[in-house]
Structure 1
């Protein structure tokens, strides 16, 4: 419930900032002080996605290093999901087609049913969607690690629930992550307009980095 509240709060924050030139950085933040040239300087430490280790549909180990210098979109799903996952993947395909071939953007989909969703199952799932190469990775791994990074770092609902259809519950959010591993946006993965905003915000982030060069 706490993570659901966080997600709703961040969506509200996003709504308040959507007309800003710069996308907000979502999540909790801390401040730290240091001494520079004899003066006290206050730095803000923003919420970041930590390193991780999963296995992709291609059988390769996937870590945060795979997304070095990349903007990426993360989500959580399972291949036998009877409810929102098919709609989510239809929407994510729109993102995939838009970014396909762009070296600075990627997609990372985490299964929340790792017992069933082996690399071979994920490979077949990706192939059925028409996904090739490594720009869109579907990953599996340790169940608790997947749930932990989903709920504590990507700030979404992701876990087992015997009362939910298919035995698992997840929020259906698409999470936009920048090159510094900050969460910069959360979007309803079942909504066409939200997906269009995500695509637009990816372009805004690309422009933000281009202006830094």
Structure 2
């Protein structure tokens, strides 16, 4: 029965998008005092994802510069994950199908098992998913840097954990970033509802730049 509900669920989620709705900023803002026309004015500056450098499935360096003027969706996974990752990637394929013809949107998937998930392994993984372009990047790199950027900046869980299935603990969230690398939404990547909410919010966020 679940299969027959999906088209209706997708339509309902996408049709609820409001033309004037603006997505919130997530994270703890810093208050900056500026002088405007001789008067002190408080401005809230929300945290942004810092500079990063990883290696993608084509053994190419990927940095924040590759996402300049791009909206993107980030997540964390590992290729041998026996639990939520297969569901997450199935759902991310729905997002990929939505954005693959949108030049201003990208996907960035970070492995949390860089020792196993080499560029060659990630290349096979991406090919198996049917991804063959730069829209969706799968990246590996220094383990501690991946964990740091995940936990401290993307606000997700990413850690080695011998008690967890597959040896790693990570969030099932998809994280939506704007063109200034501010977090504008977090979604349950293990559910249809969370996935369709993300697709809706990508459309909403794109309207901010029209």
Q: Which residue of 2 aligns with 1:14?
A: none
Deviation string, structure 1 residues 90-128 (Cα, Å, up to 9, x no partner): 000000011112110000000000000000000000000
Q: Which residue of 1 aligns with 2:127?
A: 127
Q: Which residue of 1 aligns with 2:184?
A: 184
The reply on whether 1:45 has 2:31 as its aligned counterpart is no
Q: Which residue of 2 aligns with 1:116?
A: 116
Runs of 4+ in structure 1 off by over 4 angstroms are: none
What's the CA shift for 1:183? 0.3
The 3-state SS of whatever aligns with 1:113 is coil
CA–CA distance in 1 between the matches of 2:40 and 2:88? 47
What's the CA shift for 1:37? 3.5
The 3-state SS of whatever aligns with 1:76 is strand
For normalisation by structure 2, the TM-score amounts to: 0.89
Q: Which residue of 2 aligns with 1:15?
A: none
CA–CA distance in 2 between the matches of 1:100 and 1:38? 47
Equivalence map 1:1-213=2 (5 Å): 21-210=21-210
CA–CA distance in 1 between the matches of 2:82 and 2:29? 36
What's the CA shift for 1:47? 1.4
For normalisation by structure 1, the TM-score amounts to: 0.88
Deviation string, structure 1 residues 58-98 (Cα, Å, up to 9, x no partner): 11100001111110000000000000000000000000011
CA–CA distance in 2 between the matches of 1:30 and 1:70? 24
Q: Which residue of 2 aligns with 1:11?
A: none
CA–CA distance in 1 between the matches of 2:186 and 2:41? 31
Deviation string, structure 1 residues 137-160 (Cα, Å, up to 9, x no partner): 000000000000000000000110
Number of equivalences: 193
CA–CA distance in 2 between the matches of 1:77 and 1:105? 20
CA–CA distance in 1 between the matches of 2:182 and 2:127? 30
The 3-state SS of whatever aligns with 2:88 is helix
Task: Give 5+ residue unaligned stretches, structure 2.
Answer: 1-16
Q: Which residue of 1 aligns with 2:4?
A: none
Deviation string, structure 1 residues 34-60 (Cα, Å, up to 9, x no partner): 223422121211011111000000111
